[in-house]
Amino acid sequence: MNKSVRDRRVQYETAGLDLADLAPDPFAQWHRWYEQAEEAGCVEPNAMVLSTSGLDGVPDSRYVLARGVTEAGFEFFTNYESAKGAQLSAVQHVSALFTWLQLHRQMKIRGTACRMSAAESDDYFSSRPRASQVGAWSSPQSAVLADRAELEQRVAEVEARYPVGSTIPRPAHWGGWRIAISEAEVWQGRPSRLHDRFRYRLADGANPAEPNAAWIIERLAP
Ligand SMILES: Cc1cc2nc3c(=O)[nH]c(=O)nc-3n(C[C@H](O)[C@H](O)[C@H](O)COP(=O)(O)O)c2cc1C
């Protein structure tokens, strides 16, 4: 018989996390955990739940894939005219959450999203598989479709426009966002719900993109 959601309890027996275990900045810490998640076989270890402010003020969330993580921020690519694109154009503040459940870990980031440059978006678009490039042209992401056939018709039109062998340019409506972060939190599950949590925050006025920006790290109650 299935265990009810109410009674399902997993003891987190993984090794704990101490201040001395942490990288001095959240970017290096993310890379450390990402590599360990890859080694542990976590599915889509670069997937993050991106939360934005809906145009109606209600928060909105969805997964996107992080495609770059540097001191400048966390990068992802999408349709600028999608729901999230319209929301980010209105309110740049975001939160995003990585979860590596096999390792009983999550990492939260909070910050401000800005569009990446056209050159950066072109560069990434040109590295994508051809079918994904066709998809970026074909899908009016987040718009209502009459049926699946409408999408397939759009794909056929794009494929006819760009025969195999031709270069597919990046659509102007598709590109990258970079989240410059002001805060991050790492969470490691421990037994009896006495988890380890540490928050990275910048001292007032500090710029995270500056080399050796000083991050303040504090332990939080679980
Ligand atoms: C694991 C996973 C990764 C995804 N990665 C992306 C991504 O990188 N970019 C993207 O536009 N959508 C991605 N999606 C689809 C989004 O979750 C979402 O359905 C889509 O972007 C439309 O969101 P919106 O209507 O809120 O704008 C992903 C979905 C999953 C489940």
Distance 111 CA to ligand 1 centre (A): 19
Distance 18 CA to ligand 1 centre (A): 34
Catalytic one among 193, 197, 201, 219? Answer: 193
Distance 219 CA to ligand 1 centre (A): 32
| CA-nearest residue, atom 22 of ligand 1 | 142
pLDDT of residue 7: 85
Element (H, E) at 185: strand 174-188
Distance 215 CA to ligand 1 centre (A): 30
How far apart CA 42 and CA 38 sit, in angstroms, is 6
pLDDT of residue 4: 86
pLDDT of residue 81: 98
Contact of 133 with 79, CB cutoff 8 Å: no
Element (H, E) at 64: strand 59-65
Tell me the C-alpha to C-alpha distance, in Å, between residue 24 and each of 19, 28, 34, 215.
10, 7, 16, 7
| CA-nearest residue, atom 10 of ligand 1 | 78
Name all domains of the chain by residue range, CATH numbers in brackets. Answer: 10-128+172-220 (2.30.110.10)
Q: In this structure, what are the phi and psi dihedrals at residue 7, rounded to the nearest 5 degrees? A: -100, 0
Overall pTM > 0.85 = yes
Contact of 183 with 200, CB cutoff 8 Å: yes
Q: Is residue 193 among the annotated active site residues?
A: yes
Q: In this structure, what are the phi and psi dihedrals at residue 74, rounded to the nearest 5 degrees? A: -100, 125
pLDDT of residue 1: 58
pLDDT of residue 12: 77
Angle between helices 148-161 and 130-138 (to 10 degrees): 120
Task: Give, for ligand 1, the residue of 52, 63, 99, 138 to mutate: max count of ligand atoms closer than 8 Å to Cβ.
Answer: 63
| CA-nearest residue, atom 5 of ligand 1 | 64
Nearest ligand 1 atom to alpha carbon 65 = 8
Nearest ligand 1 atom to alpha carbon 62 = 17
What is the chain's pLDDT, residue by residue, as a tens digit (222 residues)? Answer: 577 888 888 777 778 999 999 999 999 999 999 999 999 999 999 999 999 999 999 999 999 999 999 999 999 999 999 999 999 999 999 999 999 999 999 999 999 999 999 999 999 999 999 999 999 999 999 999 999 999 999 999 999 999 999 999 999 999 999 999 999 999 999 988 899 999 999 987 787 777 677 899 999 999
Distance 64 CA to ligand 1 centre (A): 5
How far apart CA 53 and CA 99 sit, in angstroms, is 21
| CA-nearest residue, atom 18 of ligand 1 | 62
Ligand 1 surroundings by CB, under 6 angstroms: 44, 47, 60, 62-65, 76-79, 82-84, 141-142
Contact of 189 with 12, CB cutoff 8 Å: yes
